[in-house]
């Protein structure tokens, strides 16, 4: 069997980490399956895939398409309205589909595994007739006006959808109305890389702050700067703690998206913190290459997304390194943890509630340790990347048979 993965970018965000872990798992469990990767832009993902022995191709997405997305719609005004942006993107898309089609024609995959909304549609248009198409969906479809319409329109060319949580699966079923089979495959992570033992980082130095006093409890929000990741709720919660609380907060992560209007900037967040009198109490490290070391250097890992989180890799990563995690309680994130056993949860978007959980954990080191130990166990039993291939392969096989049945019907 040959599987060609398609991803809109070479930058490694959450969906790309899962793509790499899926390729790793397929490589190690089923070395006879041949894997290729097509990227819409070059970046670290290409090298990481090549290290796994995956053949890679870069077919650059025109910037009119790369910048298109509706995750940021509603967040802020962008200079051009969506219909205008779409009109600019369409001619570029037609050319792109031609290039992709010719690459796929010579590669002749049994399965196309697309990751990311733009690639779901482009892969559907460029797909060789005999290749099955599997959409790996990492985000809620219903919240994206344009993508929702496009995915409905092109669902007939897709043979199966994979969702990263039951919550996302339910959303896909609601949008696509049962036209394609939808399977939940919970993400897996590298439990060796995300292990409790390993290097730490000097988060104070990385944030340009003087060393914190001994006994300071370090509380961090780790993630991209997407506007819905709840940085402001996190900062609001820290500002609600009593000024004598022995804590320091950290915002770990940097802007990674090209989609206009989809993210905060570090400057905006720093001035927000300053207005809350948090200067010196919160550090901004920017993007960290070594996320496990960053997580290990914290005592409490906060996930504060204000919208339902489709999955929330950082929740599982924080548990895997044995830290006390506070997660928001909606969407796929709620499926990952058991409140009070392997993590605490707070009401999404409610800084008052988050402040209560943070202060409960700051004052209770033994609760932090218990949650951390149970969190590691949960990560080992439910989120081991080595198990991904066993879930993926039957989905591919099923998609291949349904595609060949479909092609046979059309030829009759």
Q: Which residues bind ligand GLC (CB under 6 A)?
A: 13-15, 18, 138-139, 164, 187, 309-313
- Closest distance of CB 144 from ligand GLC, Å: 12
Nearer to ligand GLC, 131 or 328 (CB): 328
Going edge to edge, which strands form the sheet with 34-39?
A: 55-58, 34-39, 2-7, 111-115, 132-137, 160-163, 182-184
Closest CA to 225 of 177, 276, 183, 259: 259
- Closest distance of CB 278 from ligand GLC, Å: 26
Angstrom distances, CA of residue 303 to CA of 251, 264, 275: 11, 16, 22
Nearer to ligand GLC, 39 or 217 (CB): 39
- On whether the CB atoms of residues 25 and 389 are closer than 8 A, the answer is yes
Number of Cα atoms under 13 Å in the Cβ half of residue 2: 13
- Closest distance of CB 369 from ligand GLC, Å: 26
Going edge to edge, which strands form the sheet with 300-302?
A: 282-286, 247-252, 217-222, 300-302, 324-328, 344-346
DSSP β-ladder status, 55-58 and 34-39: parallel
| Other CB atoms within 10 A of residue 197 CB | 7
Nearer to ligand GLC, 239 or 343 (CB): 343
- Closest distance of CB 86 from ligand GLC, Å: 23
Nearer to ligand GLC, 236 or 309 (CB): 309
Nearer to ligand GLC, 144 or 403 (CB): 144
- Closest distance of CB 162 from ligand GLC, Å: 10
Nearer to ligand GLC, 187 or 285 (CB): 187
- The C-alpha atoms of residue 354 and residue 351 are separated, in whole angstroms, by 5
Cβ-Cβ contacts under 8 Å for 155 (sequence gap 6 or more)? 176, 179, 180
- Closest distance of CB 23 from ligand GLC, Å: 14
- Closest distance of CB 95 from ligand GLC, Å: 28
Nearer to ligand GLC, 17 or 122 (CB): 17
- Closest distance of CB 40 from ligand GLC, Å: 16
Cβ-Cβ contacts under 8 Å for 359 (sequence gap 6 or more)? 241, 242, 245
- Closest distance of CB 388 from ligand GLC, Å: 12
Q: 388-411 and 14-29 helices cross at what angle (nearest 10)? A: 90
- The C-alpha atoms of residue 305 and residue 314 are separated, in whole angstroms, by 11
Nearer to ligand GLC, 283 or 310 (CB): 310
Cβ-Cβ contacts under 8 Å for 386 (sequence gap 6 or more)? 25, 28, 29, 188
- Closest distance of CB 249 from ligand GLC, Å: 22
Nearer to ligand GLC, 162 or 282 (CB): 162
Identify the bridge partners of residue 384 per DSSP, sorted by sequence position.
Answer: 189
DSSP β-ladder status, 55-58 and 300-302: unpaired
Nearer to ligand GLC, 7 or 245 (CB): 7
């Amino acid at each position: 069997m040959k599987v060609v993965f398609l991803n809109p970018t070479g930058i490694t965000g959450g969906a790309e980490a899962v793509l790499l872990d899926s390729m790793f798992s397929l490589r190690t469990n089923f070395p006879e399956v041949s894997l290729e990767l097509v990227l819409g832009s070059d970046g670290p993902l290409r090298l990481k895939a090549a290290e796994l022995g995956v053949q890679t191709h870069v077919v650059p997405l025109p910037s009119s398409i790369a910048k298109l997305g509706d995750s940021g719609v509603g967040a802020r005004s962008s200079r051009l309205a969506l219909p205008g942006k779409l009109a600019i993107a369409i001619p570029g898309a037609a050319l792109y589909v031609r290039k992709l089609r010719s690459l796929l024609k010579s590669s002749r995959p049994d399965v196309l595994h697309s990751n990311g909304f733009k690639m779901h549609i482009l892969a559907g248009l460029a797909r060789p007739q005999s290749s099955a198409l599997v959409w790996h969906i990492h985000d809620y479809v219903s919240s994206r006006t344009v993508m929702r319409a496009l995915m409905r329109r092109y669902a007939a060319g897709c043979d199966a959808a994979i969702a990263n949580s039951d919550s996302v699966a339910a959303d896909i079923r609601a949008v696509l109305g049962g036209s394609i089979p939808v399977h939940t495959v919970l993400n897996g992570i590298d439990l060796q890389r995300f292990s409790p033992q390993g290097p730490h980082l000097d988060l104070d130095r990385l944030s340009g702050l003087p060393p914190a006093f001994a006994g300071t409890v370090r509380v961090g929000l780790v993630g991209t700067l997407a506007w819905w990741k709840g940085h402001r709720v996190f900062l609001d919660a820290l500002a609600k703690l009593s000024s004598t609380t022995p804590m320091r907060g950290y915002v770990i992560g940097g802007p990674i998206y090209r989609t206009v209007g989809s993210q905060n900037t570090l400057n905006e967040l720093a001035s927000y913190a300053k207005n809350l009198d948090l200067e010196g109490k919160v550090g901004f490290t920017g993007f960290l290459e070594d996320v496990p070391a960053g997580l290990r250097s914290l005592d409490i890992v906060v996930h504060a997304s204000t919208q339902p989180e489709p999955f929330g890799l950082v929740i599982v990563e924080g548990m895997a390194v044995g830290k006390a995690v506070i997660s928001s309680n909606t969407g796929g994130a709620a499926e990952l943890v058991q409140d009070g056993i392997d993590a605490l949860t707070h009401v999404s978007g409610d800084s008052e509630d988050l402040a209560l959980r943070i202060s409960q954990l700051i004052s209770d080191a033994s609760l932090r340790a218990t949650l951390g130990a149970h969190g590691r166990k949960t990560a080992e039993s439910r989120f081991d990347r080595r198990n991904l291939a066993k879930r993926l392969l039957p989905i591919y096989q099923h998609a291949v048979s349904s595609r060949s049945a479909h092609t046979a019907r059309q030829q009759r």
